[in-house]
Amino acid sequence: LYTTRKEEQSMTATKRISSAFLDLIAEKPFHNITVRNIVERAQVNRSTFYAHFMDIYDLRDQLITLACQKLNDSIPIAHFLSDQPDTEAIALSIQKIHQDHDFFCIILHPNMECNVESTFSGIIETHVKNWAAPFVGNYSTELFARLYAANCLATIHWSLQHPEINTHEVAKIIAGHIKRGFFHQYIDRDL
């Protein structure tokens, strides 16, 4: 597909604005960031900002939505929940997330003043509920999904905070939880 020069400029402006916002979030809380701060950092004018975003809340929401899509695309939950966890596939999933390391770290930064971890957890919970429904016995599928999602997200977040640790090692940790039956009491079958 060919893009027009105007479309290319628009994409560049959007990237510059988004990048400026993320840089500012790393420096100060969301409530202290203004459109003026963003446009000065991005080197665009206010009308360019408002051509792409309604306000800074809209910008933040769009970036969170993008992060949720990236997370959803990076985690094929079947690898994390299979009875024979595929350590290599889990490592590849974590590597996908690490390719956007800086982006995810800033999205999860407390300066965002938005509970993004809860949103991320909800994505994982949805996948887990769909997978677990046939297997969860007397226990609540919702509780199982929350526990599993919290564990999975905590491990991924920890790996982002420690990029020096090989993603294969992180994958072994996750696979080990599965193999040792970390959630065995919730499932009516052998993992």
3-class secondary structure, 53: coil
pLDDT for res 55: 97
If pLDDT is split at 50, 70 and 90, which confidence band does 15 have?
Answer: very high
Confidence band, pLDDT 50/70/90 cuts, at residue 3 = very low
8 has pLDDT over 50: no
Q: What is the pLDDT of residues 131-187, one digit of tens each?
A: 777 666 556 777 778 887 888 888 888 989 998 989 889 888 877 776 665 565 555
Please answer whether residues 90 and 175 qualify as being in contact, where contact means their C-beta atoms are separated by less than 8 angstroms: yes
Query: What whole-number distance in Å separates Cα of residue 174 and Cα of residue 92?
Result: 13
Looking from the CA of 157 toward its CB, the CA atoms found within 13 Å total: 15
What is the distance between the alpha carbons of residues 114 and 68, in angstroms, rounded to a whole number? 13
Q: Which residues pair with 187 in a beta bridge?
A: 136
Distances (CA, A) of 164 to 10, 34, 103, 169: 36, 34, 17, 11
- CB 59: neighbour CB atoms within 10 A? 22
Contact partners, residue 32, CB within 8 Å, separation at least 6: none
Reported as a single tens digit per residue, the pLDDT across 18-35 is 999 999 999 999 999 999
Token digits of residue 15: 């990237």
Q: What is the pLDDT of residue 12?
A: 87
Q: What is the mean pLDDT of residues 58-82?
A: 83
Do 122 and 173 form a contact (C-beta atoms < 8 A)? no
Q: What is the pTM of this model?
A: 0.80
Which residues are CB-contacts of 85 (< 8 A; sequence separation ≥ 6)? 79, 174, 175, 178, 179
pLDDT higher for 143 or 51?
Answer: 51
Give pLDDT tens digits for 80-120.
666 566 788 888 888 888 999 999 999 999 999 988 988 98
Most confident listed range (7-21, 54-68, 163-177): 54-68
Alpha helices per DSSP H over 29-188 = 35-42, 46-52, 56-74, 77-81, 87-99, 101-107, 116-132, 141-161, 167-179
Tokens of 164: 């020096």
